[in-house]
Amino acid sequence: MSRRTVLAARTTDERPDTNEIRALAESAGHEVVAEHTQTRPEDATFDLGRGKVDEVAESIREHDARLVVVDNELTPSQFFAWTDRLPDGVEVRDRFRLVLDIFEARASTRRATLQVELARLQHELHRRREVQGRDTEYKGFPTHDPEGEWIREVKLRIDRVQNRLDELPEEGDENRARKHDAGFDFVALAGYTNAGKSTLLHRLADDLSLEDLGTGPNDLAETVNVEDRLFETLDTTTRRCTVDGRRLLVSDTVGFIRDLPHDLVEAFRSTLVEAREADVVVLVADASKPVDALRERVRTVLDEVGDGPVVPVLNKADRVDDTDLERTRAALPDALDEPVALSATKGAGFDDLCERVVAALPTETATFELPHGDETMGFVAWCHDHGAVDAVEYGDRVSLELRARPSVVEQARARATDVTDGAGADGRA
Ligand SMILES: Nc1nc2c(ncn2[C@@H]2O[C@H](COP(=O)(O)OP(=O)(O)OP(=O)(O)O)[C@@H](O)[C@H]2O)c(=O)[nH]1
Ligand SMILES: [Mg+2]
């Protein structure tokens, strides 16, 4: 529900940057009418100082606001202290609850809905544990629970949701191995929320007019028309494309955000596995962000994506001039390779990206020489289906150069041996 909203943000040693929390509040559908910031250590009662909380309360009256968003994670007691200090009927959201609200509103698949439910319950469990045994009676929140009954009840609900999640069909390791053997390479797009991952995925698949594995026809329109809706994608979408003869399964993943609440990260772990298990991760960053914010965002994502090859992308290059782009390039963490500058909406930089992704894939090459015959033709067709055939020549014998995943090349060698053995001639692999 949309509400007139006042923001409150505190950081310990620098002026708080409210851009992100504002974008989050707006993504949740709220109208931000005022903001109040403070630089100081955390106050145990409110997080911000008491005087600042009173200033926020005053601002709420003045602007007739109904909601306060605090850009930190509040403890249960801070949460209730805020509610007590504000005019009646005004609600409080901290960063966690706001992000959860957005996730809840966006969840459109059964998996995403259950994952959000799991995160909410886990958070509830932590809160209950925190207030367990305290004397204070928080509004509507029982604290006297000597038998631990409320905690048991939440745990039961967590088990129930977890069981339902476990029952959903998984893209398991077995499936992945089968697709690898069939010649598919896995590429994951990972990045901060709103960096342009979904736009890039659509462009990659559409530009090459390749088969779409299961996204609705309207989701591009939705993605492109709405400016800066955070956490647009909550479930993994996978599309197929062929680049330089290699067949890729490219997955979009849920976006990251600074301080993404731990319970949410846990709940969405299966989506993140997509990035961790990929052959190559394309790390998408929004080049139009200020350099410091961008570096921080890239680090946040890097921490989560595992140790495999990473191709960094500076997307939205259309929004910055060359000087700024160079500055951004230089500011990326040293551990990263040179980034690819790209515009997913304008379609620039795709050739570079494709080249870099293919170069990062696990690859082996082999040359085969085989006798003419039906079996060899079958072998040639198999190679085309499972990898990139860089050359085929039909001379005295058929000669073929294959470039593919090492496991595919291994299968090809076995098949070539069968062909030559069957033909009673010697083949060379
Ligand atoms: N100017 C410009 N805008 C872009 C570009 N790529 C994406 N956008 C816009 O950035 C916004 C976010 O794009 P998405 O593709 O939804 O971002 P995402 O990374 O999938 O976001 P989440 O699903 O929330 O993690 C949309 O409004 C896009 O139109 C680009 O290259 N240039
Ligand atoms: Mg997305």
Tokens of 291: 């350099």
Cα 194 to middle of ligand 1, angstroms: 5
Which helix (H) or strand (E) is 404 found in, with range? strand 398-404
Quote the pLDDT of residue 241: 87
Strand 4-11 and strand 31-39: the pairing is parallel
Orientation of helix 149-167 relative to helix 110-131, angle to 10°: 160
In a domain, residue 33? The reply is yes
Quote the pLDDT of residue 163: 94
Residue-number span of the structural domain to which 147 is assigned: 107-167
Instruction: Answer whether 27 contacts ligand 1 (Cβ < 6 A).
Output: no
**Same domain, yes or no: 296 and 154:** no
What are the pLDDT digits (tens) for 68-124? 999 988 988 898 899 999 999 999 999 988 988 888 888 878 888 898 899 889 888
Domain boundary among 73, 102, 131: 102
316 exposed, middle or buried (CB, 10 Å; 0-12, 13-18, 19+)?
Answer: buried
**Same domain, yes or no: 157 and 226:** no
Domain count within the chain: 4
* Ligand 1 pocket: which of 109, 203, 229, 232 to mutate (most atoms within 8 A of CB): 232
**Same domain, yes or no: 163 and 279:** no
Cα 358 to middle of ligand 2, angstroms: 23
The protein residue whose alpha carbon is closest to atom 27 in ligand 1 is: 227
316: annotated binding-site residue?
A: yes
In a domain, residue 429? The reply is no
Domain boundary among 343, 360, 377: 360
Cα 245 to middle of ligand 2, angstroms: 27
In a domain, residue 136? The reply is yes
**Same domain, yes or no: 340 and 200:** yes
324: annotated binding-site residue?
A: no
In DSSP notation, 174-236 reads HHHHHHHHTTEEEEEEEEBTTSSHHHHHHHHHHHTT----S--TTHHHHHHHSTT-TT---S-
**Same domain, yes or no: 181 and 300:** yes
Regions of the chain where pLDDT drops below 70 = 1, 132-147, 170-173, 206-228, 261, 270-271, 423-429
**Same domain, yes or no: 271 and 315:** yes
In a domain, residue 325? The reply is yes
**Same domain, yes or no: 187 and 142:** no
Cα 259 to middle of ligand 1, angstroms: 21
**Same domain, yes or no: 292 and 392:** no
The protein residue whose alpha carbon is closest to atom 10 in ligand 1 is: 196
End-to-end CA distance of the chain: 66
Q: Minimum-distance ligand to the CA of 320?
A: 1
Domain boundary among 360, 387, 402: 360
Contacting residues for 327 by C-beta, under 8 A, at least 6 apart: 291
Question: For ligand 1, what atom is nearest to the CA of residue 284?
Answer: 19
Q: What are phi and psi of 193, to 5 degrees?
A: -60, 140
Quote the pLDDT of residue 219: 37
**Same domain, yes or no: 223 and 331:** yes
**Same domain, yes or no: 390 and 341:** no
**Same domain, yes or no: 77 and 188:** no
> CB of 368 within 8 A of CB of 402?
yes
**Same domain, yes or no: 265 and 206:** yes
Cα 220 to middle of ligand 2, angstroms: 10
In a domain, residue 139? The reply is yes
Question: For ligand 1, what atom is nearest to the CA of residue 199?
Answer: 15
In a domain, residue 428? The reply is no
Q: The domain spanning residue 328 has which CATH number? A: 3.40.50.300
Quote the pLDDT of residue 407: 93
Q: The domain spanning residue 412 has which CATH number? A: 3.30.70
Instruction: Answer whether 192 contacts ligand 1 (Cβ < 6 A).
Output: no
Q: Distance of CA 282 to CAs 25, 188, 189, 220, 265, Å?
A: 28, 6, 5, 20, 20
> CB of 284 within 8 A of CB of 200?
yes
